[in-house]
Structure 1
């Protein structure tokens, strides 16, 4: 990232870019209300006064009163790169709220118990893994069956398969229905924006399918809906870097839970850590119906004709795991996606690319009007 978000905003205010939406610094009270509304949606059971105190702490103030007394400092702090999620969590815990490692609120919920047949399969696996040289086929078959049973019990979707009618697969992406401010910062050290939960090992991903407009035969795209990690546990019985991984999951809107009795890899020596999107598959399918992401994917051949810049922008947008399935318009895209993940476009430091992005969204709105069954 060439410049900080603050420098980028200053540059844009000094020289607005024709054809794009120039950044307008909102009043502190408006920006603070937007932040609080977003956090209230994630923590609906936290009292308003308590959430205000936690927000003040997360922005570097000792109290909410101190925050209100210094509007210039508040305005500086409201830039999300100054928002400290760990401080928000710490203050909520101090105020008596049971915030889990993945930033969910409340006690850990009971999970489904393995069936008798499942436990018998795990017992067989444990025996076979002691001398696996001539029984690998059986081990792989049992592990595949266990993965399918676990997916069914926890409603995760399907495993990774190859099919020529599956035209696009997105890996782990931000769940914009539950993510928290600063999610872009949590991914800054991840190569290419790919999500790699710390401490993960012996991974298995699960996917949900999204339909595309039929041609000769049905085609579809799919996105990662969950991931299982089965790392070896330490002397304390806990998986390595669990708190760090759970925090990252909560920041991007996923949940993180441990179900070690289900582990199908070296059961008894490993934990099974489940990372799962918060937004349900049904809700995402509804968002997909007329989404910008779907429109780009279905029309990419046509849209990539002409200038190389547009071709590159189309490809970059389609390939990104983190673009929301639901977008209203370009201003909404700037606030919920570009601001966090592509700040140079949010602030106008790459004006040509920003114009292409905005024009694509305008074309989408013209071709897929907002009406029942076409757009969210």
Structure 2
């Protein structure tokens, strides 16, 4: 597993001192200022710069769809992977507008192998997870393999020029897995973190909530107190292959010294897992947005993150994370390019 060094607090202090000397009233750019300071500390400079970005969209299927927890059938997962590769999905358009590359990581799609493509990373650990109500989602060894697949995908993106990185997700049924994993890691009841995902009706939502509760009870019978158990063992019981892969994306990118951006509920479950495995990761994390899923706010609170955007998104794919890339570039540009009062010869109030 990638080890993440702590950010340099000296550069954090130096960047904050420079931020306070820029030609504006202190704090007038709100949270953009703190974002710039954090970027400076990550890059170990007082003048941070961000260039091309990338998003790794991890895709996998979920056995729990057999319980009727999603508004869409499981075959949508491989269909959407092909859509990503053809450039026809929302994330493709947003990435193009935001100056980001899209990589698609097949870490657990249930279906035939995909044709070779320059942006496809084939690393299928198994064809979908087990039904987490009735059995572990995956073995601990498979969880580690999914983590490593995400790490390898991030390393490729970094080697090809990415200067900031996000994870995205595709997997019908994955908000159920994300709810179970979040509840387990944070010690919360299922009702506080389980939402409607793709937009299920009341009956399906009731089924989904019951599924998460039963899955938590089954996993607790095997591991004991889930909030105190080994995080990767908990993920093996309750998570998704793409959720664990997202954790790997964050760990490897941060280990390479890049800022990393969370997306919606499933991806942030991956960030939560990664932060439990490597606490230093939190210093490299930025929250792209806050989705309408109720558990997402609890995840961000646990990670100590404020979302850069709040657009009522609930799509996934990395869309909210990549939408935030220009905001982070602007935060870096402000700190690097604005003149101080002394440099500009402007009188202070």
Q: Name the TM-score class by shorter chain.
A: under 0.3
TM-score normalised to structure 1 length: 0.26
TM-score normalised to structure 2 length: 0.27
Report which of the two has the higher share of helix. 2
Larger radius of gyration: 1
Which structure carries more relative contact order (alpha carbon 8 Å, separation 6+)? Answer: 2
